[in-house]
Amino acid sequence: MTTINSHSLPLDVVAQVLAESLPYIKRFHGKTIVVKYGGNAMTEEVLQRSFAHDVVLLKLFGLNPVVVHGGGPQIDDALKRIGKQGTFIQGMRVTDEDTMEVVEWVLGGQVQQDIVLMINEAGGKAVGLTGKDGSMIQAVKKLMPNKEDPSLPIDIGYVGDIAKIEPALVKALQDDQFIPVISPIGYGEDGLAYNINADVVAGKMAEILGAEKLLMMTNITGVLDKNGSLLRVLSAKTIDALFEDGTISGGMLPKISSAVDAARNGVKSVHIVDGRVPHCLLLEILTDRGVGTMITSD
């Protein structure tokens, strides 16, 4: 039997979740919920435990969670151990051959298996996957736009765009009551592995699976305006303006771009949630309170 640790979840929150959850459980029963797992929630023990319990409870309640994880800090730590410094262009990690070996080892090995074990210990049945399994994520080499000379795109190494997602394996696991845990590594027709931004994989996976919700866990309260105030609901059109005036920039670019694409391509609702809040998934999905920004289509 799966239980929530009462020391990690305040009693008033327990009562509110129980009181408010029934209509949401009925509404979302059988629906797919894609979760991009990253940030502090992956590195702080209390948040790790609350995430695992949330995912297991969602499955027990009849929802179908699919986890896509990042691992930027873990990759940076591993690179430092071999004397390399991570570099980024327009929010994307520059990935040479040595870095790609580290990415595969960290994401497809260490990080993925830690998440799988954590969910299983909480009472779930998680299975780890990379894009190679079942030819799930087919990739092509990504070239970044060059603002100074558009005719000369920037090569950032073994970084990929998604050419195609084949969801059959994920759907089969869901039907057998497993929780898929997906590392954002794709494989090209050239037989090479490609590092794909986890936000991009989560967004496209949500589209392909026809997900009810896409939740992207971050280390901030949500999308903020220039004054640092939380924007609770945004349309895709409003976000286009925030891109243009520089309000959204850097590492948030791929996250918000993927969220907007998912909202425009059939995902019912997309949420940028504060992963530093214990049990943020339960609070966002099964209660009336929100813990971030909701993004809607135009």
In sequence order, the 6+-apart residues with CB closer than 8 A to the CB of 181 are 67, 69, 112, 115, 116, 119, 126, 127, 128, 129
Q: Which residues carry a binding-site annotation? A: 71-72, 93, 195
In a domain, 85, yes or no: yes
In a domain, 199, yes or no: yes
In a domain, 246, yes or no: yes
In a domain, 45, yes or no: yes
| Local confidence pLDDT in tens for the 298 residues of the chain | 444 444 455 677 667 667 778 898 999 999 999 999 988 788 889 999 999 999 999 999 999 999 999 998 899 999 999 988 888 887 778 899 999 999 999 999 999 999 999 999 999 999 999 999 999 999 999 988 888 888 889 899 999 999 999 999 999 999 889 999 999 999 999 889 999 999 999 999 999 999 999 999 988 888 887 877 888 888 877 888 888 787 777 667 778 888 888 988 889 889 999 999 988 998 889 887 777 888 887 6
In a domain, 86, yes or no: yes
Residue type, 291: V
pLDDT of residue 180: 98
Residue 242 CB coordination number (10 Å) = 19
- Total of domains in the chain: 1
Q: Which residues carry a binding-site annotation for substrate? A: 71-72, 93, 195
Cβ contact 91:253 at 8 Å: yes
pLDDT of residue 145: 86
In a domain, 2, yes or no: no
pLDDT of residue 1: 40
| Residue-number span of the structural domain to which 198 is assigned | 11-296
In a domain, 3, yes or no: no
Burial 30-63 (b: 16+ CB within 10 A, else e): ebbbbbbbbbbbbeeeebbbbbbbbbbbbbebeb
Pairing of strands 213-218, 179-182: unpaired
CATH of residue 93's domain is 3.40.1160.10
Alpha-carbon distance 257 to 76, whole Å?
A: 24
In a domain, 4, yes or no: no
